[in-house]
């Protein structure tokens, strides 16, 4: 059983992301802003919002917690935002993407624009940025979910017309799925895909070669809104719309359920075996440590400001 823990920590803010006592845990989207989080999962607090001189309409934080991909609220332009406060534009990226997805280790990203039906693969996020385009207009439907591989070669999309793979030459091919796919996640560093449906979680190995399907979980009916894999591929977590969390230990094959006491927006890795499921709601957000089976809530630190965006949970 999980236990719900909160530890308030004193903090003072300074510099681009703010400086407070304790190690940097990661970064948290807060509406149009980014906030640093300090401490460890069991004892963390949220610092003051970073000042980039502009607000953001979209924010996606790398699982490594070392950068974020953002879209500017005023122009829609897409940037890589660094912890130092630097904003690096991404040439060729479509303005105002509807969704931004990060690969399991944050080495690649995917932009989705519903109006054009275009996918854009971003690679070289730690060096020379490049953009590659693909189109999903032939499907004539909006996707339920997307995922992108760490090498940036593949993206998978769950559509009403089925589960589709988008490859390095822009090709689109169907992937095997006996049920409607609802949430997707690539395994870290591998061309293998995890898929959650209403009753199963399964893997598709070697998506770009000879795809092989293996069942990982079968259980009561669920409504997953997010799926994420830990950086070491030892833990897979599915977040359900009800707030129930399904945690799979991929080394032992064990499965357990927990309650996050929240309304998940998705499942987002914060490195190691820790996952978050919401942005800032009121004055807290929730994290889950899959290695211990514990749910924690992380509060705003004193002096960090109390004008958090988002509704009270």
pLDDT at 308 (0 to 100): 39
Of residues 142 and 201, the one with the higher pLDDT is 201
pLDDT at 178 (0 to 100): 82
Question: Tokens 């004055």 appear where?
Answer: 283
- Report phi then psi at 244, rounded to 5: -75, 140
Q: What is the mean pLDDT of the chain?
A: 89
Which residues, 6 or more positions from 181, have their beta carbon under 8 angstroms from its beta carbon?
144, 145, 158, 162, 163, 195, 196, 197
Domains of the chain: 97-221 (2.130.10.10)
pLDDT tens-digit series, residues 34-84: 999 999 999 999 999 999 999 999 999 999 999 999 999 999 999 999 988
27 and 35 in contact (C-beta within 8 Å)? Answer: yes
CA distances to 71, 127, 286 from 52, in Å: 12, 21, 25
**pLDDT band at residue 307, thresholds of 50, 70 and 90?**
very low
pLDDT at 310 (0 to 100): 28
Q: Judging by DSSP bridges, how do beta strands 130-135 and 109-113 pair with one another?
A: unpaired
Nearest to 151 by CA among 90, 91, 225, 207: 207
pLDDT tens-digit series, residues 199-233: 999 999 999 999 999 999 999 999 999 999 999 99
Identify any residues that bridge with 203 across adjacent strands, giving them in sequence order. Answer: 194, 214
Nearest to 61 by CA among 313, 266, 312, 290: 266
pLDDT at 94 (0 to 100): 97
Query: Burial, 312: exposed, middle or buried (Cβ in 10 Å; 0-12, 13-18, 19+)?
Result: exposed
Q: What is the pTM of this model?
A: 0.88
Which residues, 6 or more positions from 72, have their beta carbon under 8 angstroms from its beta carbon?
54, 55, 56, 57, 78, 79
SS3 (DSSP) at 138: helix
pLDDT at 84 (0 to 100): 82
């Amino acid at each position: 059983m999980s236990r719900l823990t909160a530890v308030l920590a004193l903090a003072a803010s300074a510099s681009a992301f703010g400086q407070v006592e304790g190690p940097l845990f990661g970064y948290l989207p807060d509406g149009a802003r980014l906030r640093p989080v300090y401490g460890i999962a069991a004892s963390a607090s949220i610092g003051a919002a970073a000042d980039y001189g502009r607000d953001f309409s979209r924010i996606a934080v790398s699982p490594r917690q070392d950068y974020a991909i953002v879209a500017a609220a005023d122009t829609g332009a897409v940037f890589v935002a660094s912890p130092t406060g630097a904003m690096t534009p991404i040439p060729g990226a479509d303005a105002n993407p509807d969704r931004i997805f990060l690969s399991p280790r944050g080495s690649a990203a995917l932009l989705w624009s519903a109006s054009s039906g275009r996918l854009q693969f971003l690679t070289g996020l730690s060096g020379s940025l490049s953009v590659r385009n693909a189109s999903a207009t032939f499907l004539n439907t909006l996707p339920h979910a997307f995922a992108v591989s760490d090498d940036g070669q593949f993206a998978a999309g769950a559509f009403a017309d089925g589960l589709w793979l988008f490859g390095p030459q822009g090709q689109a091919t169907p992937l095997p799925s006996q049920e409607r796919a609802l949430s997707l996640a690539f395994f870290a560093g591998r061309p293998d895909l995890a898929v959650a449906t209403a009753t199963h979680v399964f893997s598709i190995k070697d998506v770009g070669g000879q795809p092989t399907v293996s069942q990982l979980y079968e259980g009561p009916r669920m409504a997953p809104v997010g799926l994420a894999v830990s950086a070491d591929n030892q833990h897979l977590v599915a977040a359900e719309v009800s707030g129930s969390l399904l945690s799979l230990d991929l080394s032992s094959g064990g499965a357990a359920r927990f309650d996050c006491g929240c309304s998940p927006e998705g499942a987002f890795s914060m490195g190691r075996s820790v996952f978050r499921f919401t942005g800032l709601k009121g004055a807290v957000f929730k994290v889950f440590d899959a290695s211990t089976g514990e749910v924690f809530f992380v509060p705003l630190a004193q002096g960090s400001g109390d004008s958090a965006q988002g509704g009270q949970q």
